[in-house]
Amino acid sequence: MNFDILYAFISATALLAIFPGPDNIYVLTQSLANGKKYGMATVSGLITGCLVHTTLLAFGVSALIKANDNIFLAIKIFGTAYLFYLAFKVFKSDANLVVSRENTPQKSLFSLYKQGFFMNVLNPKVALFFLAFFPGFLFNDDWSTVIQFYVLGLLFMLVSFLIFSLIALLAGLISNYINRSPSVGVFLKWLQIVVFLGLGIYILLSDK
């Protein structure tokens, strides 16, 4: 087992969870508008949805990898191209971050859980990201790829849950800091670009 690969995966997952995106911004606004437990309900739904994507990836991609080495190479090339595309989208995006609790409707805890779950499961970008991200971090020559994808998926869920939970619990402090510090958006934008480019290169050079 290559623990260095797992450590790299955990570090990359933590960075990706911190970067501003639709999911963590939604958690932040729900926590600000309705309270911390409502933010946590949203987090729980989002993270549960990751299990669906992990299962689809584990059984679908594992069969493809086992069938043909050229298919695995094609998946890596796709992953690299997709991560480079994400870096380009971040480069073209506005670096300004604005967090507001206005116009955020009140919902029940279960409604927010369901919304978080379906936001994740029905988002094709999440499925594409899992396909681009996970295959480059296979870490054990003896374990089946199904088991390895599940280990990676559970690590992804655990790290994301911890960071999203901190966002929900510290929503007030985070929003005040963002609104007072315009430069934080610029810093996170360029850090995100570097991470996506680095991940793309890493995945392209990774072995099966």
| DSSP tag of 93 | S
The residue assigned the tokens 């998946």 is 75
CA distances from 111 to 34, 36, 40, 105, 107 (A): 13, 15, 12, 11, 6
Whole-number pLDDT of residue 23: 84
Structurally, the chain folds into a number of domains equal to 1
- Cα dist from 134 to 26, 103, 167, 173, whole Å: 24, 36, 24, 33
Task: State residue 177's pLDDT score.
Answer: 75
Q: What is d(CA 20, CA 87) in angstroms, rounded to the nearest whole number?
A: 13
Q: Which domain holds residue 94?
A: 3-205
- Measured from the Cβ of residue 38, the count of other Cβ atoms closer than 10 Å reads 23
pLDDT given at position 99: 61
CA dihedral 7, 12, 17, 19 (to 10 degrees): 150
At 208 the pLDDT is 57
- Tens-of-pLDDT digits for all 208 residues of the chain? 788 999 999 999 999 898 877 788 888 888 887 888 888 999 999 999 999 999 999 988 877 777 777 888 888 888 889 889 988 988 888 766 666 555 566 778 898 899 889 988 888 888 889 999 999 898 998 899 899 999 999 999 999 999 999 999 988 787 777 767 777 778 878 888 888 898 889 888 876 5
